[in-house]
Structure 1
Amino acid sequence: MSLDHRTVDQGWLADLRASLADDFATQTARLRELTELNADTGDPGEAHNQAALLAAARRNIEQITGALGRISDGTYGLCERCRKSIPAERLEVLPHARFCVPCQEKQNK
């Protein structure tokens, strides 16, 4: 089943927007916490772990922000490459998906 942009359930989009906003707040708090704890312990392994956690939090915030922007501008659920609808099942699992599966596979190559 694909997301039909002409008949999108506005309640579903509102719930998704609220969920993404909650995720954004959580990730922002996590990023703030990680940044504040960015004390150098002298352990290279710990520094590497800290850097990876910071990068993951930033990436999550970027993905959430992108999804919220696409909801706002009416392009949510459209593949950024082929402009076809991304299946609703994919969006349920990966709400920040920017590409349909075939285009994502091409993007990863």
Structure 2
Amino acid sequence: MTTDLRGAADQQRTEQLRATLTTEFEAQTARLTELTADTGDPGEAHTQAALIAATRQSLAQIGDALRRLAEGSYGICERCDAPIPAERLEILPHARFCVPCQQKQG
């Protein structure tokens, strides 16, 4: 019975995470659409290009996290295969590495 409850809790947590990531993906997509609209102000071009690049990177990270969720590899460090602590994933839901491996990554 305890295993069933734990499994249900894990499934609920996964569904919540998927919903959060999906919502963030949609928000970032809308932001990218706004950013890529031509403002006509050449002075803003550099800042706008940086914002577009950051938004695209965020979209890629969220998309990768959603893919890992679908594959069942979410929450596992891509370098050492150790579980990534839940606290880290709460702060950085698209984390690909545990803290020690991230520090080695640079």
Normalised to the residue count of structure 2, the TM-score between the two structures is 0.88
The residue aligned with 1:102 is 100
Counterpart in the other structure of 2:35: 34
**Structure-2 separation of matches of 1:28 and 1:15:** 20
- The code of the aligned residue for 1:71 comes to L
Show the 5 A alignment for 1:81-96.
81-96=79-94
Name the CA distance, whole Å, in 2 between partners of 1:51 and 1:99.
28
In structure 1, C-alpha distance between the alignment counterparts of 2:30 and 2:42, rounded to whole Å: 25
CA–CA distance in 2 between the matches of 1:47 and 1:83?
42
Higher helix share: 2
SS of 1:71's equivalent?
helix
Q: Which residue is equivalent to 1:11?
A: 12
1:41, distance to aligned residue in structure 2 (A): 1.9
Task: Quote the Cα distance in structure 1 between the aligned partners of 2:39 and 2:87.
Answer: 42
Q: Which runs of 5+ in 1 are unaligned?
A: 1-5
**Identity rate of aligned residues, in percent?**
58
Aligned length: 100
Q: Partner of 1:57: helix, strand, or coil? A: helix
Deviation (angstroms), 1:42 = 2.8
1:9 is paired with a residue of what secondary structure?
helix
Greater relative CO, 1 or 2 (CA 8 Å, sep 6+): 1
RMSD: 1.6
| Alignment correspondent of 2:3 | none
Distance in 2, matches of 1:70 and 1:52, equals 27
Please, what TM-score do these two structures have when normalized by structure 1? 0.86
* Deviation string, structure 1 residues 46-82 (Cα, Å, up to 9, x no partner): 2211011001110110010000000000000000000
Aligned to 1:20: 21
